[in-house]
């Protein structure tokens, strides 16, 4: 395949950045999207040009590091996959592909396609954990029976990999789907109920402090989420937040 790439290039956080055109020949359908960018970078390096910076780590859909807005969609045109799991067979010979970083005020561009997603870490640090007394008196988690349906919902919420596609998909750059997944994975379990009030109040407060927008109720986040995190989690977050606010 011969592809025409339009890629966002930005030297640093201070640089304005712009789209740059590249032509790449010999792309195979079995290549992943990131392997296609690797080939482009090899060519750029051999010509003495600066390679395109992009985030990646596991390349198997579990770490949440890869990102990229591909033809306007976070993680590209396929469903329930991350950019590292997207294959070039989804594109055709002669296609033009527009590749941009995830766009959000709370995700500033560091360089080219790499954005700073540490705002998610700070939301997680505000309450996305269970405090455990490890003095030797800890009760085995398996000693507490949990209904199968709740265990499944908690597990599904916990599959969020923190990639940020939900934010990039939302016209308000809302982080509600991410935060609701992190709140839900604990809210559904007895171990998580102990700190539930403080958790939801603190995580939502941090989410707002980071500059993420409000939920638009359009569901774009759910459509683009590579892990199929459901909007039901946002409804649960709202219920948890209301109950915690009344409780104070």
Q: What part of residues 9-28 is at the interface with ligand SF4 (CB under 6 A)?
A: none
Provide the CA 109 distance to its chain's centre, in angstroms: 15
Give the range of 35-43, 59-67, 107-115, 232-240 binding ligand FES by CB under 6 A: 59-67
SS3 state at 243? helix
Among 7, 40, 65, 168, binds ligand FES (CB under 6 A): 65
d(CA 234, CA 217): 10
Does 56 engage in binding with ligand SF4 (CB under 6 A)?
no
**Whether 188 contacts 40, CB under 8 Å:** no
Q: What part of residues 81-110 is at the interface with ligand FES (CB under 6 A)?
A: 82, 84
**Whether 30 contacts 88, CB under 8 Å:** yes
Tell me the closest approach of the beta carbon of residue 130 to ligand FES, in angstroms.
Answer: 25
Q: Which residues pair with 69 in a beta bridge?
A: 74, 100
Radius of gyration of the chain (CA): 20
Q: Which residues pair with 9 in a beta bridge?
A: 18
Does 165 engage in binding with ligand SF4 (CB under 6 A)?
yes
Phi, psi angles (nearest 5°) of residue 66 = -70, 155
Give the range of 7-15, 54-62, 107-115, 187-195 binding ligand FES by CB under 6 A: 54-62
Does 31 engage in binding with ligand FES (CB under 6 A)?
no
Identify the DSSP state of 61.
Answer: S
Give the range of 61-69, 90-98, 136-144, 175-183 binding ligand FES by CB under 6 A: 61-69
Does 49 engage in binding with ligand FES (CB under 6 A)?
no
Does 5 engage in binding with ligand FES (CB under 6 A)?
no
For 242, the token pair is 């209301």
For 63, the token pair is 């770490």
Task: Measure CA of the first residue to CA of the last residue in the chain; give whole Å.
Answer: 60
Tell me the closest approach of the beta carbon of residue 233 to ligand SF4, in angstroms.
Answer: 8
Does 61 engage in binding with ligand FES (CB under 6 A)?
yes
Contact partner at residue 229 from ligand SF4, ligand FES, none, CB < 5 to 8 Å by partner kind: ligand SF4
Among 8, 178, 186, 241, binds ligand SF4 (CB under 6 A): 178
Q: Show the DSSP H helices in 85-158 as ranges.
A: 118-125, 148-158
Among 1, 39, 44, 62, binds ligand FES (CB under 6 A): 62
SS3 state at 6? strand
Residues lying near ligand SF4 in the complex (CB under 6 A) are found at 160-166, 177-178, 181, 225-227, 229
Residues lying near ligand FES in the complex (CB under 6 A) are found at 56-59, 61-66, 82, 84
């Amino acid at each position: 395949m011969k592809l025409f790439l339009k890629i966002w290039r930005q030297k640093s956080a201070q640089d304005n950045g712009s789209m740059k055109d590249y032509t790449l020949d010999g792309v195979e359908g079995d290549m992943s999207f990131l392997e296609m960018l690797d080939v482009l970078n090899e060519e750029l390096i051999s010509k003495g040009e600066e390679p395109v910076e992009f985030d990646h780590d596991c390349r198997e859909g579990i770490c949440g590091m890869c990102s990229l807005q591909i033809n306007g969609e976070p993680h590209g045109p396929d469903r329930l996959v991350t950019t590292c799991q997207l294959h070039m067979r989804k594109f055709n010979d002669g296609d033009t592909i527009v590749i941009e970083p995830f766009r959000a005020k709370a995700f500033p561009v560091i360089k080219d396609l790499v954005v700073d997603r540490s705002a998610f870490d700070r939301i997680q640090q505000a309450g996305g954990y269970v405090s455990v007394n490890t003095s030797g008196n800890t009760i085995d988690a398996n000693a507490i029976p949990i209904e199968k349906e709740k265990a499944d919902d908690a597990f599904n919420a916990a599959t969020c990999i923190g990639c940020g596609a939900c934010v990039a998909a939302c016209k308000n750059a809302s982080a509600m789907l991410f935060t609701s997944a992190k709140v839900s994975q604990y809210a559904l379990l007895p171990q998580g109920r102990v700190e539930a009030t403080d958790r939801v109040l603190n995580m939502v407060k941090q989410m707002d402090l980071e500059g993420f927008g409000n939920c638009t109720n359009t569901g774009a986040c759910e459509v683009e989420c590579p892990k199929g995190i459901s909007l039901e989690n946002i409804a649960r977050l709202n219920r948890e937040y209301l109950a915690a606010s009344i409780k104070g």
